[in-house]
Structure 1
Amino acid sequence: MNEMPFEKSQNSDDELQTEYRFDYQKAKPNRFAARSGTQQLTVVVLDEDVAQVFTTPESVNKDVKGVN
Structure 2
Amino acid sequence: MAEDFSKGKRGPVIKPDPNKVRITIRLDADIIEHFKNRVHATGGGNYQTLINDALREYIRAHDKELESTLRKIIREELKRAV
| TM tier relative to shorter chain | under 0.3
| Bigger share in helix | 2
User: Under a length normalisation based on structure 2, what TM-score does the superposition of the two structures give?
Assistant: 0.22
Larger Rg: 1
Work out which structure has the larger RCO, using CA pairs closer than 8 Å and 6 or more positions apart in sequence: 2
